[in-house]
Amino acid sequence: MASNRLERIKEEVKRELSGIIRRLKDPRIADVVSVVAVDITKDLKYAKAHISVMGTDEQKKNTITALNSAAGFIRHEISSGLDLRITPEFKFVQDNSVEYGIHIDELIHKINNGERETDK
């Protein structure tokens, strides 16, 4: 039962975090930023947010740096939006799984096109 509660909290934090990041007015944050996953410890003290950033490597680095520097503000906003006894401290990390998925999809597409050309 406790794991179900933790999963619901993770999803609520992820949803709230996405909205807060959209509202941030830091020029270092890239235009296309999404929250892929949020891991929260069982005691709800710490959270690691996996962030996907579309852009150059410099934009990705700047976005993660900006989010980590705004972690206190984000924590305050989360505590205002959600009714939690303990609001976790956030650490933001870059997640490349979306880009990796796109790369794999391109490779599969190339392989399929190559097979069709050899069949002819």
Q: Tell me the per-residue pLDDT of 53-102, one tens digit each, with 9 for 90 and over.
A: 988 999 999 999 999 999 999 999 999 988 888 999 999 999 988 888 88
102: number of CA atoms within 13 Å, CB side? 5
Complete DSSP assignment for 8-23: HHHHHHHHHHHHHHHH
**Interhelix angle 71-81/57-69, nearest 10 degrees:** 60
| Residue range of the domain that includes 40 | 2-119
Number of domains in the chain: 1
Q: What CATH number does residue 105 fall under?
A: 3.30.300.20
**The whole model's pTM is what?**
0.80
Give me the torsion for CA of 104, 106, 111, 112, rounded to 10°.
Answer: 110
Please write the tens of the pLDDT for every residue from 4-41: 989 999 999 999 999 999 999 999 999 899 999 999 99
Question: 78 near 13, Cβ under 8 Å?
Answer: yes
